[in-house]
């Protein structure tokens, strides 16, 4: 994988790394009685939480659905880690988007069948290291809030760095239409022309607020540590991925370290 391929990945990861969670969910859901499926995903980042509503046709391509984003909503306030001193407010911060987006986008008759997932990234990974009791209280409040809604709550969790990195990689290559047997999503043909062919993949460099992830398919798997190896199956094909997360190398944490260095120099 060359540097040009990696650069393409850097650009597209900004569109929404959390899409992979829905891609994983819809691989295992099928009901011939309904034309469309719906899914709700909370991307709980270090600087804020965003709700993504997805829709996909029940008919699938090679056991994986073609997903499109139906709507998005940003929760008021900061990330969930900003509520460590007041955990109940963490759950309440999500209610506005649940009410005005989740309940509105998904048809009422599909509420119970629509999966809902929340994944926290590096902000809560850091919080968990600093105070597990406080982070657990935040996660419990969030779990209670989401389970008070009529959706199928699949998971409310703090993602590992490797999970976050692999999700970034899948989203980048999904948007570029790079899976060997997968159709390219509509409206991105012009973007694909500047990338690679449909049977190649690109690397993804995902810089968030508190961490940085790098993910790509290595040329030599024998030099990849097992803890950094992820096996993914997309559109009937297996992909062996290298992914590594660098905690505290996100934009906000890097700036904080830089400012601390200036203080020390003075």
| Ranges 25-34, 85-94, 134-143: which has the least confidence | 25-34
Q: Where are the domains of the chain?
A: 15-161
Residue 181: per-residue pLDDT: 57
Q: Is the pLDDT confidence value at 154 over 70?
A: yes
Q: What is the pTM of this model?
A: 0.75
- pLDDT range class, residue 188, cuts 50, 70, 90: very low
Residue 111: per-residue pLDDT: 95
Residue 40: per-residue pLDDT: 92
- pLDDT range class, residue 189, cuts 50, 70, 90: very low
Mean pLDDT within 163-182: 78
Taken as a whole, the chain contains a residue count of 266
Mean pLDDT of the chain: 79
Residue 158: per-residue pLDDT: 92
Q: Is the pLDDT confidence value at 35 over 70?
A: no
Is the pLDDT higher at 64 or at 247?
Answer: 247
CATH of 15-161, one of 3.90.1150.10, 3.20.20.10, 3.30.420.40, 3.40.50.970: 3.30.420.40
Q: Is the pLDDT confidence value at 36 over 80?
A: no
What residues are annotated to the active site? 164
Q: Is the pLDDT confidence value at 25 over 70?
A: no
- pLDDT range class, residue 250, cuts 50, 70, 90: confident
Mean pLDDT within 126-137: 93
Residue 182: per-residue pLDDT: 55
pLDDT 10s digits, 82-95: 999 999 999 999 99
| Ranges 2-11, 72-81, 211-220: which has the least confidence | 2-11
**Whole-angstrom distance, CA of residue 243 vs CA of residue 172:** 14
């Amino acid at each position: 994988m060359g540097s040009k391929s990696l650069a393409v990945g850097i650009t597209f990861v900004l569109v929404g790394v959390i899409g992979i969670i829905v891609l994983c969910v819809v691989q295992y859901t099928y009901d011939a009685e309904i034309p469309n499926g719906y899914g709700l995903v909370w991307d709980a980042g270090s600087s804020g939480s965003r709700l993504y509503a997805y829709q996909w046709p029940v008919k699938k391509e090679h056991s994986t659905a073609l997903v499109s984003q139906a709507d998005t909503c940003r929760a008021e306030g900061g990330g969930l880690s900003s509520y460590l001193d007041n955990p109940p407010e963490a759950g309440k911060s999500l209610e506005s988007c649940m009410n005005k987006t989740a309940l509105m986008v998904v048809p009422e008759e599909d509420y119970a069948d629509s999966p809902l997932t929340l994944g926290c990234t590096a902000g809560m990974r850091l919080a968990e290291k600093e105070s597990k009791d406080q982070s657990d209280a935040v996660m419990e409040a969030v779990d209670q809030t989401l389970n008070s809604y009529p959706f199928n709550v699949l998971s409310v969790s703090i993602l590992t760095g490797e999970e976050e990195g692999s999700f970034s990689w899948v989203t980048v290559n999904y948007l570029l239409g790079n899976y060997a047997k997968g159709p390219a999503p509509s409206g991105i043909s012009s973007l694909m022309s500047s990338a690679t062919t449909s049977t190649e993949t690109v690397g993804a460099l995902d810089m968030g607020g508190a961490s940085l992830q790098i993910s790509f398919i290595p040329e030599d798997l024998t030099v990849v540590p097992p803890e950094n190896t992820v096996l993914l199956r997309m559109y009937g094909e297996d992909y062996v991925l290298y992914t590594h997360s660098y905690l505290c190398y996100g934009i906000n944490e890097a700036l904080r370290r830089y400012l601390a260095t200036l203080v020390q120099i003075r």
